[in-house]
Chains A and B, each alone.
Chain A
Amino acid sequence: MLLSELQTGERGVVVRVAGHGAFRKRIIEMGFIKGVTVEAILNAPLNDPIKYRIMNFEVSLRRSDAEKVEIVSEKEAELEIVSHDDYRGIDADEQSAAQHIAAERGKTINVALVGNPNCGKTSIFNIAAHAHERVGNYSGVTVDEKVGTFEHNGYTFNLIDLPGTYSLSAYSPEELYVRKHIIEKNPDIILNVVDGSNLERNLYLTTQLIDMDITMVMALNMFDELKRSGDKLDIEQLSTLLGMPIVPTTGRNGDGIDKLFDTIIDVYEERDVKTRHIHVNHGRELERSIKRLRTELYEHGFSDSLSTRFLAIKLLENDKQLEQYTTERDPDGSVFKMRDQIADEFFRSSHHSIDDTEHVQKEHGGDHRAHQDIESAITDAKYAFIRGALAECYEKNEKSTLHAHTDRIDAIVTHRWLGYPVFLIFMFITFFCTFAIGQYPMDWIDALFGWLGELVNSNMTEGPLRSLLADGIIAGVGSVIVFLPNILILYLFISFMEDSGYMARAAFIMDKLMHKMGLHGKSFIPMIMGFGCNVPAIMATRTIEDRKSRLLTMLVIPMMSCSARIPVYVILVSAFFSKYAALVLTGLYLLGMIMAVLMAKLFSRFVVKGDSLPFVMELPPYRMPTAKAVLRHTWEKGKEYLKKMGTIILAASIIVWALSYFPTNADKKMQAENSYMAKIGKTIEPVMAPCGFDWQQSVSLLSGVFAKEVVASTMTVVYATSSEEAEELEDFEAEENGSRISQLIQQNMSPLSAASMLLFILLYMPCLSTIVAIKNESGKWKWALFTMAYTIGLAWVVSTVFFQLVSLIL
């Protein structure tokens, strides 16, 4: 609980003091240190200040200050000791109980990971917290906070992985999010992860964190790359200059992680000698301006929750969000008057020096800042500080060939003309391997489920339970589970492309095309994520700053073929187009992307209007993905797929079987034709007939609303229960005609109808979860319903036109 919540007469023990800088120092100097007992003497509701007794003297604190002190009250300790077995043996009536619990709680450290995108925060998080969060060699993989808890040397760590950000300005959602977290959640330690192979740019964020006056430890990540490059860095010197301990780490293999958390414990316990608060020197004139504004902020009581230095700098930079924060506490606007006056003086003094600086430039060719506004001057000053610090401790190896291979590969894969065919070749190889290699284990799993079905049929008496097990559960789940190898192979390739850094290049070459079609180049990352699952892809659009591009991307992501559609594609492709499987699959994926881009163009013209922002995206160096990371990601996906089999696919197969089995009839054909499923299917059949679909295909598509894999299981169950030939398949043995399911489909569908169905599945409405995700992210049901309507309409039109045209030709 917080100190402010301690009622009159109650006592508690201090656990920790949040806050920063002068405020924290003042509180600690007053005696509010870990383990000290404090008593509330007068805490009347709504009264300010509150009176406390600590170390035998009385102090009064403002309620807002008391909210920064975490305590354990004796009452709370008493209750906790009674309810927890861990505390058995401790006398609940004594003050020692609160002391004991306060000491325990004081050993919990909240650490927030903050750093540039793609600097390896999530890799450190995964190793430290033994988690399996998604990582990738491109920016924007983490879009929300991930929390992991683990023990290290007797301390409990709550590690929070935040989205990557280049700065703490208020330009993009991730910048705002990270800043908000630091200010509002007050983590005990900020773990600033810095890419050792790109120090100068990464340290810019560090200088802003220093401005915030928070306790920090730096992880100098990718240290292996720094060493390989031959660059020399005096870590001790940099640590002294920045006033924080620096620990070299390699997130890929876990080197230095243990030492990193040992250092965090030392800093938390205030044992680290390197930790000191420094000021990033912005130059004499700017420092004077910052000081003047800070004084004004102090006078308005801004010193408790946010560093006044940080606030002053941000106000000088015209930070809109912090302006709003300031307005709430400064209704008469005197802070803003001072800010505007300072900015005006700074501008005038810059202009005053134009003549001088132009003269200097003519004479010496040096740079000048005459025309720069205060915001650029602050940025320049920060970079000057970084360059100054690095000049003292860093020596770059100019002959380094570390990233030479990146340049050589980029010359081909991001080439103006070659880039596109290379992308197509990668996609073709991916789908060829997915289909060709996946075919063998697929046949084995299929044979296993065939054998299971036979086992049930031959050992159980005829009845609904036998039919449920054989035709419903085994046929339904088996028809989807056989595609597990294909899913694993596809993810193996996607993981490799993501972790190596190729996906960022794919986004780069697509930018021009995307921009022409009204989309942001950054839209390509969520779109690629859509190949896995549309839901996280919709959420990943949060990294797109521009509202219009964000909404447009969200609306077209359902065109990207998610992994749930693969089983349906592979069933139909292996039944009818197995010779051209890789080509057909590549074509489908490409068609999805083309339709997404075309739809974006259409929507940006007629539905979502607005200006789009320029595209800025980092191209990370190529890195050889570790087998562990790629295999782990692949296995995670496989695990998710199997989990789905035991839940939604199983339940859907049972329901589809019931709807196809009841009402019962002695004649199997009649039973299928009169079943509830047939009634539903025949009701919608007239609408779907122009696309070339029978009632079985129609109900299968309808069931896909819940999850796309259900289309495959429904098709199998419906055909298995309605087809006369199905019984013959009981004696089926895998041979050249393809799998048992493929044969069933071949007997009931024409190749043209199958092709039309492939198009329909590619384009028609996404699953229910995606619809809800669109509603949540856009904030309106309107856009979710719009997506449903337009995707169904588009799928129907494309399938109908295709089916009718090809029917005419053939």
Chain B
Amino acid sequence: MIQTIIVAIILAAAAVFVVRGIMRTVKGKGGCGCGCDNCPMKGDKGRLCNDSFPQINVDD
């Protein structure tokens, strides 16, 4: 029984981590998954990068 409870807690934590990771990635907040401190996709850095560096306007 104790084993089942511990497994349930670990599973829930893993599920939350994965779902949160996917949500953050899709929103462009979570980094690329490479785990590096200066991930260009991460948080403010990603936004800064995307706002200020010229990007493609595919409709041009």
Contacts and interface: CB of A to CB of B under 8 A. Distances in A.
B22 A776 contact: no
A701 to B, nearest CB: 18
A757 B29 CA distance: 32
A651 B40 contact: no
Nearest to B47: A776
Contact of B58 (A464, A639, A779): A779
A464 B53 contact: no
A464 B34 contact: no
Given A463-B3, A769-B25, A769-B41, A533 B14 contact: no
A177 B54 contact: yes
A644 B34 contact: yes
A550 interface: yes
A643 interface: yes
A684 B32 CA distance: 27
Interface string A175-188: 01100110000000
A799 B32 CA distance: 28
A422 interface: no
Interface residues of B, number: 40
Given A539-B49, A647-B35, A776-B28, A655 B58 contact: no
B33 A769 contact: yes
A767 B52 CA distance: 25
Interface in B1-54: 2-4, 6-7, 10-11, 14-15, 17-18, 21-22, 25-26, 28, 31-41, 45-46, 48-50, 52-54
Contact of B35 (A133, A177, A465, A640): A640
A146 B2 CA distance: 49
B15 to A, nearest CB: 7
A706 B17 CA distance: 13
Q: Which of A143, A144, A658 has the most CB of B within 10 A?
A: A144
Interface size class of A (residues with CB under 8 A): 35 or more
Nearest to B41: A535
A177 B52 contact: yes
B14 A651 contact: yes
Interface in A680-709: 706-707
B25 A768 contact: yes
A533 B3 contact: no
Contact of B56 (A535, A773, A779): A779
A704 to B, nearest CB: 12
A67 to B, nearest CB: 20
B12 to A, nearest CB: 10
A658 B36 CA distance: 29
A463 B54 CA distance: 56
B35 A535 contact: no
Nearest to A645: B35
Contacts of B21: 647-648, 651, 706
A29 to B, nearest CB: 34
Contacts of B15: 655
B56 to A, nearest CB: 5
A468 interface: yes
Nearest to A544: B56
A776 B29 CA distance: 12
Contact of A535 (B3, B6, B40): B40
B17 A651 contact: yes
Contacts of B40: 143-144, 535-536, 539
A773 B41 CA distance: 8
Contact of B32 (A144, A181, A533): A533
A647 B41 CA distance: 17
A779 B52 CA distance: 14
Interface in A763-789: 767-770, 772-773, 776-780, 782-783
A777 B56 contact: yes
B54 A464 contact: no
A542 B36 contact: no
Interface string A651-664: 11011001000000
A145 interface: yes
Given A464-B3, A654-B10, A768 B22 contact: yes
A636 interface: yes
Contact of A146 (B4, B38, B46): B38
Contacts of A783: 58
Contacts of B41: 535, 539, 769, 772-773, 776
Contact of A464 (B7, B31, B57): B7
A655 B56 contact: no
A111 B41 CA distance: 24
B32 A773 contact: yes
Given A145-B48, A768-B25, A768-B26, A468 B34 contact: no
A131 B10 CA distance: 36
Contact of B54 (A461, A466, A542, A769): A542
Contacts of B36: 636, 640
A466 B6 CA distance: 11
A551 B39 CA distance: 22
B53 A144 contact: yes
A636 B15 CA distance: 28
A173 B55 CA distance: 8
A647 B37 CA distance: 14
Interface string A706-729: 110000000000000000000000
Interface string A456-467: 000001011110
A751 B35 CA distance: 34
A693 B3 CA distance: 35
Contacts of B39: 535
A148 to B, nearest CB: 10
A650 B10 CA distance: 11
Contacts of A75: none
A647 B17 contact: yes
A547 interface: yes
Interface in A391-410: none
Interface string A526-539: 00000001011001
B49 A655 contact: no
B9 to A, nearest CB: 10
Nearest to A652: B18
Given A144-B49, A465-B6, A773-B41, A535 B32 contact: yes
Contact of B53 (A177, A466, A639, A651): A177
Nearest to A144: B49
24 contacts: A146-B38, A177-B52, A463-B3, A463-B4, A535-B40, A536-B32, A539-B41, A547-B56, A550-B56, A551-B56, A644-B35, A647-B35, A648-B33, A706-B22, A769-B32, A772-B25, A772-B28, A772-B41, A773-B32, A773-B41, A778-B58, A779-B58, A780-B58, A782-B58
Interface of B: 2-4, 6-7, 10-11, 14-15, 17-18, 21-22, 25-26, 28, 31-41, 45-46, 48-50, 52-58, 60
Interface of A: 131-133, 143-146, 173, 176-177, 180-181, 461, 463-466, 468, 533, 535-536, 539, 542, 547, 550-551, 636, 639-641, 643-644, 647-648, 650-652, 654-655, 658, 706-707, 767-770, 772-773, 776-780, 782-783
Q: Which 4 A-B pairs have CB atoms at the shortest separation, nearest pair first?
A: A535-B32, A643-B35, A465-B3, A769-B32
Given A144-B53, A706-B22, 4 more contacts: A464-B3, A466-B3, A773-B32, A782-B58
